[in-house]
Amino acid sequence: MDRVVIVGASMGGLRAAEQLRAAGYEGELIAIGDEPHMPYNRPPLSKEVLAAEVTHAAVAFRLRDSVADVTWRLGTPVAAADLDAGELTLADGSTLACDGLVVATGLRPRRLPLPGGEDRRHVVRTLDDAARLRPCLTPGARVVVVGAGFVGCEVAATARTLGAEVTVVAPETEPMLRPLGPELGAALRARHEARGVTFHLGATVRAFTDTGVTLSSGADLAADVVVEAVGSTPRTEWLEGNGLDLSDGVLCDGTLRVEGRPNVVAVGDVARFPNPRYDDVPRRVEHWSIPTDTAKRAARTLLGEDGGPFLPLPSFWSDQYDLRLQSFGAPALGEDVRVLEGDLETEAVVGHHRDGRLVGVVMLGMARRMAHYRGRLLDDVPALT
């Protein structure tokens, strides 16, 4: 293999380049990104960076010496791929041949399929998104956040801390319901409400008006700023026409190899792969730990190494006000959710169980118990057949 092209120049792409070098690959490496920026760390965009000054320097990933010779083609999305021919077509019409391909195109934010309000509508996915939103979050600004997942809750907390009047609109019964469960979700909502955030739950936005939004209930909310935090969509359009399963990201086997394509692997949150730690169902995982874990494995798969079962332990965190949530495992897979330690008013560990087995924990504070629960989940590897 003489030339590996990495499509996607964010965390997953960077980690793939590092890991290919770490695994001994000495050939040419080209990374293609649609953003004009070198790889940077996204989580601070909804937190520290949004609360301060938005600069690339504040979030840029350091580049190891091992990737100093990677060619970065930035600001140039890939338009199409012909995997049989091993050829990529870029948006500027140029073509690029490759022997090996790493799919690292990640996600794009979903938008509300409604017209109007363009001048006040925002998303928070890229550095440029954060730079556009930041000056709008002024004291007294009326901010409506649509969506109560990670990004929605973090932006709500940051905007409120900056003095904005914040309202969260979401269809679920509690914020971050899926990863946290109903009790911890309610506790999180109470923390937001105590700071003055208003929630409209069980609600959606029906229309944009000249002054804000109209909810499904018919209520009108005035808004200077509307942040659409309604999830993300995998960026796989450029892979169409190759017979791949792109129904939700790109389908991979348990080693991150794209199904039926020996020279193509996928990394990060665009990759749908089974994790035998839980079951044989391929899933995409949008947590921050995943680009690093998948890149490590995918690089070795691309180079033909057999590394045994791939059993990453997902992990996420979220900072809102002075509150820290830290999770290990796959809490969203749990059906039986209960407090294992502490209480939700102060600090707690919430366990998510499936068929009696602890599959994930979410910790509210409780940092001193992190090693215990992480170790317990890490060591619980089912017998593999």
Partner 1 sequence: MKVIVDMDRCQDHGQCVFSAPEVFRLDDAGHLVYEADPDESLRDAVEEAADVCPLQAITVG
CA 170 – CA 160 distance, rounded (Å): 17
Does 288 sit near partner 1 (CB under 8 A)?
A: yes
Using the minimum distance from each CB to partner 1, give the nearer residue, 31 or 78: 31
Query: Which residues are bridge partners to 266 per DSSP?
Result: 103
Does 321 sit near partner 1 (CB under 8 A)?
A: no
Neighbours of 59 (CB within 10 A): 19
Using the minimum distance from each CB to partner 1, give the nearer residue, 66 or 204: 66
Does 150 sit near partner 1 (CB under 8 A)?
A: no
To partner 1, the closest distance from the beta carbon of 144 in angstroms equals: 28
CA 233 – CA 17 distance, rounded (Å): 24
State the DSSP H helix or E strand holding residue 302, giving kind and residue range, or none if neither. helix 289-302
Of positions 105, 292, 320, 327, contacts partner 1 by CB under 8 A: 292
Query: Which residues ranging from 38 to 57 are in contact with partner 1 (CB under 8 A)?
Result: 41, 43-44, 48
Does 315 sit near partner 1 (CB under 8 A)?
A: yes
Binding segment (CB under 8 A) for partner 1, from list 70-78, 96-104, 299-307, 311-319 = 311-319
* Binding-residue total with partner 1 (CB under 8 A): 21
User: 275, 372, 279, 374: which is closest to 327 by C-alpha?
Assistant: 374
To partner 1, the closest distance from the beta carbon of 137 in angstroms equals: 21
Using the minimum distance from each CB to partner 1, give the nearer residue, 190 or 367: 367
Using the minimum distance from each CB to partner 1, give the nearer residue, 106 or 212: 106
Using the minimum distance from each CB to partner 1, give the nearer residue, 48 or 193: 48
To partner 1, the closest distance from the beta carbon of 320 in angstroms equals: 13
To partner 1, the closest distance from the beta carbon of 350 in angstroms equals: 19
Query: Which residues ranging from 55 to 74 are in contact with partner 1 (CB under 8 A)?
Result: 59, 61-62, 64
Binding segment (CB under 8 A) for partner 1, from list 99-107, 199-207, 232-240, 314-322 = 314-322
**What secondary structure letter does DSSP report for 164?**
-
CB proximity list for 89: less than 8 A, separation 6 or greater: 78, 79, 80, 81, 82, 95, 96
Residue 338, token pair as written in the block: 């209960």
Is the CB of residue 246 less than 8 Å from the CB of residue 236?
Answer: yes
Q: Which amino acid is at 50?
A: L
CA 221 – CA 216 distance, rounded (Å): 11
Using the minimum distance from each CB to partner 1, give the nearer residue, 287 or 354: 287
CA 272 – CA 248 distance, rounded (Å): 7
To partner 1, the closest distance from the beta carbon of 315 in angstroms equals: 8
Does 319 sit near partner 1 (CB under 8 A)?
A: yes
Is the CB of residue 294 less than 8 Å from the CB of residue 268?
Answer: yes
Does 371 sit near partner 1 (CB under 8 A)?
A: yes
Residue 59, token pair as written in the block: 């979030």
CA 201 – CA 183 distance, rounded (Å): 15
User: 179, 185, 29: which is closest to 104 by C-alpha?
Assistant: 29
To partner 1, the closest distance from the beta carbon of 82 in angstroms equals: 33
State the Rg of the chain over Cα. 21
Does 374 sit near partner 1 (CB under 8 A)?
A: yes
Residue 335's φ and ψ, nearest 5 degrees, are: -105, -30
Measured CA distances, 133 to 129, 139, 221 (Å): 6, 14, 19
**What secondary structure letter does DSSP report for 303?**
T
Of positions 87, 289, 312, 339, contacts partner 1 by CB under 8 A: 289
To partner 1, the closest distance from the beta carbon of 377 in angstroms equals: 12
Binding segment (CB under 8 A) for partner 1, from list 206-214, 224-232, 288-296, 341-349 = 288-296
Residues that bind partner 1 (CB under 8 A): 15, 41, 43-44, 48, 59, 61-62, 64, 288-289, 292, 315, 317, 319, 326, 367-368, 370-371, 374
